[in-house]
């Protein structure tokens, strides 16, 4: 039996039959332990999600349909049942009227059996007979694959839970193929939870709400782009709570989770919050959800373990959703509303990356005599930018390109020819040479000759803080350096702006910090930076930006940038 047959055998056609197929192989978490990407949710997080989604006991819950797509050992299911039972009592309804009000899926039969036992216990506490309780619980809980089964299920008012964490390369190929045929947003190397979010959203009735806690990588990664596009087109994001450091799960796992509440309906205001290690239930008699909403609205000054704000709108299309502290996000949204992008035709500002050769050992040298002088281009490397001013280390890139494109004829360059011929085998081994054998001596990227003589700012890729460095038109960038040229900007003034923590905020928002806090200053992130119109900056401010740039004073640069962007009232957000 293949892994997929086992998966199907367990997942389909056995609805209420709680037994485990002997051949079943569910991927296990690396720590061993629970099956099928299971990470169990803490009760206070479950309560928060149910409240935010609106699954509250004061509603007529028997008349609503709530779905738990991956019930595990009942972390959501049991509180859902308690709320339902409370609601039945308040509404004067009988237990029988709740027969169709809950559906929980679980692929792992042992977990499902455990969930049924818990449900039975809850029902018995409510006065149900053992037989009645078992009948109801087994009707609610299905052993099955939610992703394959839910398209045949009813539209739901709520889909809530904590979907499994199974990496793309751990999902059996046949299962992945079946999932992808049903869920077009499962693109790239996405985790299985992307499919769960899409399936949950698809199952929602009009105005229905999805409330999940799951990893938040999809909000920024390429594999989440189709999901973001789908959400932006049809749904409204209501709440996002970043929970990377919060004690959200029973085990300590580095899952980088967030709570998301998304409704099938138009986009409105969004609660954006962040929970830290001190987050937990409130003990003032109210609910954590209500306190959090009050904090975001400004009706509550502080809430232990949380920061929160309200965003007036959310990000459109397939573009990444930023990851920032709530107050930083407000500043970012304001800047994005008021200012245009750094890369812009009007100011002739362009961002690019330096040359990749595919064989740096051959193409990069400190010996200026290896080829004819016009083939030797001074090359700026990351280390040359370390001090904040460009200190050329004497490296050259050996340039095989003609002005205007195409490779030079080696017959016209005897020294170049001799040098390349001696290293021909190494050059020919590169993919780029194998794809075009006649161009065996090309660098991967062409060298754009006019770039060398232009003033430009360099950005080393990996840095803890923004680190623009001016080149006065003396070197060509190596591929770990990104560069910016501009027709209109004075690059010393712009350098000051880009040194500021306001510019850095854009990078922090869209590039997930690497371990140790390193940021990536790649073109895709630099292009996210918004800047004021250069003509709008008074000379006195320009001078301060220049000075800050040359003295590498990020504080002074940030103070000047706060004025340049006109955001003095939010200066505290960037530490001014
Ligand atoms: C992260 S755990 C969450 C359990 C529970 N909702 C909680 O919050 O504690 C995910 C559960 O999904 C189950 N699972 C994995 N793949 C599934 C699938 N395709 N359909 C339904 N359940 C699945 C796993 O067996 C596991 O119990």
Residue with CA at minimum distance from ligand 1 atom 27: 72
Give the single-character DSSP code of 282.
-
Pocket of ligand 1 (CB under 6 A): 35-41, 69-72, 75-76, 105-108, 111, 145-147, 161-162, 164
Residue with CA at minimum distance from ligand 1 atom 24: 36
Choosing from 30, 36, 167 the residue with most ligand 1 atoms within 8 A of its CB, the one to mutate for a pocket test is 36
Ligand 1 centre distance from Cα of residue 72 (Å): 5
Residue with CA at minimum distance from ligand 1 atom 20: 145
Residue-by-residue pLDDT tens, the chain, 576 positions: 344 444 443 333 333 333 333 223 344 433 334 556 678 899 999 999 999 999 999 999 999 999 999 999 899 999 999 999 999 999 999 999 999 999 999 999 999 999 999 999 999 999 999 999 999 999 999 999 999 999 999 999 999 999 998 998 999 999 999 999 999 999 999 999 999 999 999 999 999 999 999 999 999 889 999 999 999 999 999 999 999 989 999 887 778 899 999 999 999 999 999 999 999 999 888 999 999 999 999 999 999 999 999 988 899 999 999 888 899 999 999 999 999 999 999 999 999 999 999 999 999 999 999 999 999 999 999 999 999 999 999 999 999 999 988 999 999 999 999 999 999 999 999 999 999 999 999 999 999 999 999 999 999 999 999 999 999 999 999 999 999 999 999 999 999 999 999 999 999 998 867 778 889 999 999 999 999 999 999 999 999 999 999 999 999 999 999 999 999 999 999 998
Alpha-carbon radius of gyration of the chain: 29
As given in the structure block, the two tokens for residue 215 are 């990893």
Choosing from 9, 27, 30, 70 the residue with most ligand 1 atoms within 8 A of its CB, the one to mutate for a pocket test is 70
37: left (phi over 0), alpha (psi -120 to 50) or beta: left
| HSE value, Cβ hemisphere, 13 Å, CA-based, for 508 | 17
Among 254, 258, 178, smallest CA distance to 219 is for 258
3-state secondary structure of 460: strand
Among 426, 482, 464, smallest CA distance to 554 is for 464
**φ and ψ at 58, to 5 degrees?**
-80, 0
Name the CA dihedral angle for 565, 352, 547, 528, rounded to a multiple of 10 degrees: 20
As given in the structure block, the two tokens for residue 375 are 């083939």
Ligand 1 centre distance from Cα of residue 553 (Å): 51
3-state secondary structure of 15: coil
Q: Which atom of ligand 1 is nearest to the CA of 108?
A: 25
Ligand 1 centre distance from Cα of residue 452 (Å): 56
Residue with CA at minimum distance from ligand 1 atom 15: 36
Q: CA 561, CA 339: separation in Å to the nearest integer?
A: 13
Ligand 1 centre distance from Cα of residue 28 (Å): 11
Ligand 1 centre distance from Cα of residue 152 (Å): 19
Ligand 1 centre distance from Cα of residue 402 (Å): 59
Ligand 1 centre distance from Cα of residue 108 (Å): 8
Q: pLDDT at position 250, please?
A: 86
As given in the structure block, the two tokens for residue 142 are 């299905």
Q: CA 163, CA 258: separation in Å to the nearest integer?
A: 12
Ligand 1 centre distance from Cα of residue 270 (Å): 28
Q: Which atom of ligand 1 is nearest to the CA of 161?
A: 6
Q: CA 405, CA 449: separation in Å to the nearest integer?
A: 9
Ligand 1 centre distance from Cα of residue 449 (Å): 56
Paired with 458 in beta bridges are 469, 483
């Amino acid at each position: 039996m293949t892994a997929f047959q086992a998966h199907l055998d367990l997942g389909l056609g056995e609805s209420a039959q709680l037994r485990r197929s002997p051949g079943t192989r569910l991927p296990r978490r690396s720590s061993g332990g629970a099956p099928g990407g299971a990470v169990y949710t803490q009760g206070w997080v479950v309560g928060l999600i149910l409240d935010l989604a609106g699954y509250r006991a004061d509603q007529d819950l028997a008349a609503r349909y709530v779905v738990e797509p991956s019930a595990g050992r009942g972390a959501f299911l049991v509180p859902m049942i308690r709320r339902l039972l409370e609601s039945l009592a308040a509404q004067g309804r009988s237990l029988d009227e709740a027969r169709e009000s809950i559906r929980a899926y679980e692929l792992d039969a042992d977990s499902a059996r455990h969930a049924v036992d818990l449900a039975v216990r809850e029902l018995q506490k409510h006065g149900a007979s053992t037989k009645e309780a078992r009948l109801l619980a087994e009707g609610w809980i299905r052993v099955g694959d939610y992703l394959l089964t839910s398209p045949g299920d009813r539209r739901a008012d709520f889909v809530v839970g904590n979907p499994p964490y199974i990496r793309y390369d751990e999902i059996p190929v046949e299962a992945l193929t079946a999932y992808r045929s049903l869920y077009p947003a499962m693109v790239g190397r996405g985790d299985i939870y992307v499919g769960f979010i899409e399936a949950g959203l698809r199952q929602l009735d009009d105005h229905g709400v999805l409330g999940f806690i799951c990893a938040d990588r999809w909000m920024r990664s390429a594999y989440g782009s189709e999901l973001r596009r789908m959400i932006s087109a049809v749904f409204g994001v209501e709440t996002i709570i970043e929970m990377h450091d919060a004690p959200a799960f029973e085990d300590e796992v580095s899952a980088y989770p967030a709570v998301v509440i998304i409704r099938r309906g138009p986009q409105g205001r969004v609660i954006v919050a962040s929970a830290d290690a001190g987050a937990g239930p409130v003990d003032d008699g109210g609910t954590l959800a209500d306190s959090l909403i009050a904090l975001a609205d400004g009706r509550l000054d502080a809430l232990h373990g949380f920061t929160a704000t309200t965003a007036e709108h959310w990000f459109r299309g397939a573009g990444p959703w930023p990851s920032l502290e709530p107050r930083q996000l407000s500043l970012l949204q304001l800047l994005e509303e008021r200012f245009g992008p750094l890369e812009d035709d009007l100011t002739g500002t362009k961002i690019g990356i330096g040359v990749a050769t595919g064989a740096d050992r051959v193409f990069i040298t400190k010996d200026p005599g290896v080829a004819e002088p016009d083939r030797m281009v001074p090359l700026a490397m990351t280390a040359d930018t370390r001090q904040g001013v460009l200190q050329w280390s004497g490296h050259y890139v050996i340039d095989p390109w003609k002005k205007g494109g195409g490779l030079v004829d080696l017959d016209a360059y005897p020294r170049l020819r001799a040098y390349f011929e001696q290293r021909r085998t190494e050059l020919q081994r590169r993919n780029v040479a194998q794809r075009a054998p006649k161009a065996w001596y090309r660098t991967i990227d062409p060298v754009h000759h006019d770039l060398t003589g232009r003033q430009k700012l360099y950005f080393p890729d990996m840095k803890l803080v923004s680190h623009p460095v001016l080149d006065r038109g003396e070197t060509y960038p190596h591929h770990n350096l990104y560069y910016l040229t501009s027709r209109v900007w004075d690059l010393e003034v712009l350098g000051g702006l880009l040194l500021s923590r306001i510019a850095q905020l854009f990078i922090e928002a869209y590039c997930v910090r690497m371990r140790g806090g390193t940021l990536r200053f790649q073109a895709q992130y630099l292009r996210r930076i918004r800047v004021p119109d250069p003509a709008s900056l008074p000379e006195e401010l320009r001078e301060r930006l220049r000075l800050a740039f040359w003295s590498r004073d990020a504080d002074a640069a940030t103070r000047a940038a706060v004025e340049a962007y006109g955001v003095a009232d939010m200066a505290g957000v960037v530490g001014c």
